[in-house]
Amino acid sequence: MFTLEQIKNAHAKVKSGADFPKYIQELQQLGVVDYETFVSDGHTIFKDKENRALKSESNYASLVIADKSDRLEFQKKLQEHQQGKTNYPTFCEDCARLGVEKWMVDINKMTCTYYDKAGQEMLLETIPSI
């Protein structure tokens, strides 16, 4: 089973959304099959193929998630982040402001799904391969 230290080392290499596919590849090599990240404080629950889970600590001060989501503006901010125009903290602040409560990554399907506070899917995207 992977460790939180291994995951932190992989995440430390991520400077922007442009680095995300490499990060996912590294997690896959560690044995992570899916994970769920909560925008409110950045904690993440990572799971392996036996459904064993590790929960990370909070990554930053609490953010307030907007009650009303803005799907179109979120897609714009996500695209900017994926192009390397914003760093991770800025992306998380944008997510909170635009009503994104969490995202879930399925490494086997290579998808990332973003959800609002009501649990409604805001966006499902395919993670590009390297």
Alpha helices in 1-130 (DSSP H): 4-11, 20-30, 71-82, 88-97
Per the structure, the complete domain to which residue 16 belongs is given by: 4-126
Query: Please, which residues have CB within 8 angstroms of residue 1's CB and are 6 or more apart in sequence?
Result: 31, 48, 52, 54
- For the chain, the domain total comes to 1
d(CA 86, CA 107): 24
pLDDT in tens, 94-130: 999 999 999 999 999 999 999 999 999 999 999 987 6
- For each of the chain's 130 residues, which pLDDT tens digit applies? 999 999 999 988 887 777 888 999 999 999 999 999 999 999 999 999 999 999 999 989 999 999 999 999 999 999 999 888 988 899 999 999 999 999 999 999 999 999 999 999 999 999 987 6
Predicted TM-score of the model (pTM)? 0.90
Neighbours of 94 (CB within 10 A): 19
Please give the structure tokens belonging to residue 37.
């990240």
CATH number for the domain including 29? 3.30.1810.10
